[in-house]
Amino acid sequence: MPEPASTFGAGIDSIYYIILWITGAIFVLVETALIVFIIRYRHREGRVAAYSHGNKKAEIVWTVIPFILVLFIVYASNDIWLEVKRADQGGAAPADALPLRVVAKQFEWNVTYPGPDGELDTADDFVKRNQLHVPIGRAVRIDLGSEDVIHSFFLPDFRVKQDAVPGMTIPVWFEATRTGEFPLACAELCGLGHYRMRASLTVHEAADFDLWQSQEIAASGSPTGASEIDTERANEAEISEGEESA
């Protein structure tokens, strides 16, 4: 797996490896027993098969052992699960998190940024298509939604994966621990163009993020933070109207 780039990435990896070792050991034991039984109980001339109608001790053993292993995995993963989902706060991110809105649509990710005031749905909001930019060392809260079908918001380097469901706004949060550019993909088959529903996540130093944000607002040419999405869709509409009139 890629090196984790979020505060809870290492914790998720540790649970993954615990489960991998447990299931790996069970796999080896089962395959070894299978080979032993194939050899020991292979067909032999004059040997009559004996039938078994159950063994209570064996059934208790293979029920109790998985039960104990599942309880152990639940116990081991409880702390990291509560941190990621923040169950004590109803799934909310830390109070000082940067708010963003990500809306999935066949086959793109539209990201709304709050602008300098740090609040969504205000005049300085702006939107970028397939570009997610965040500062390092600050929690980011994403209000995740979908316009059409179920998509899956997947940041493999950050160990973040959450379905985007039409009609629902689902909170997702993470905090980046290193700068760079990382892939953002859809991990749910969402249509014929699923394979090209890709975007990038860029993690900036705090000052660089502020600079990037101010440049984007200036480039929009409007104090209301007009989005490139609106501009592109307006151009598409003009082209479509021209074709119809022709």
pLDDT digits (tens, 9 = 90+) for 154-167: 999 999 999 999 99
- Of 120, 189, 182, nearest to 151 by C-alpha is 189
| Average of per-residue pLDDT across 168-187 | 95
pTM: predicted TM-score of the whole model, two decimal places: 0.78
Task: Provide the pLDDT for residue 87.
Answer: 65
Q: Tell me which of 52 and 3 has the higher pLDDT.
A: 3
β-pairing, 160-164 with 108-113? unpaired
The pLDDT-based confidence of 232 (bands split at 50, 70, 90) is low
Task: Provide the pLDDT for residue 94.
Answer: 84
| b/e burial code for range 77-101 (CB count within 10 A of at least 16 → b) | beebbeebeeeeeeeebeeebbbbb
Report H helices in the chain.
Answer: 9-40, 56-85, 206-220, 228-245
In the predicted model, is pLDDT for residue 222 greater than 80? no
- Residue ranges of the chain assigned to CATH 2.60.40.420: 98-245
In the predicted model, is pLDDT for residue 174 greater than 50? yes
Ranges 41-45, 63-67, 219-223, 241-245, most confident: 63-67
- Averaged pLDDT score across all residues of the chain: 87
98-245 is a CATH 2.40.160.40 domain:
no
Task: Provide the pLDDT for residue 233.
Answer: 47
Contact in structure between 137 and 179 (CB atoms under 8 Å): no
Read off φ and ψ for residue 122, nearest 5 degrees: -125, 175
Q: 207 burial class (0-12, 13-18, 19+ CB within 10 angstroms)?
A: exposed
Q: Tell me which of 239 and 85 has the higher pLDDT.
A: 85
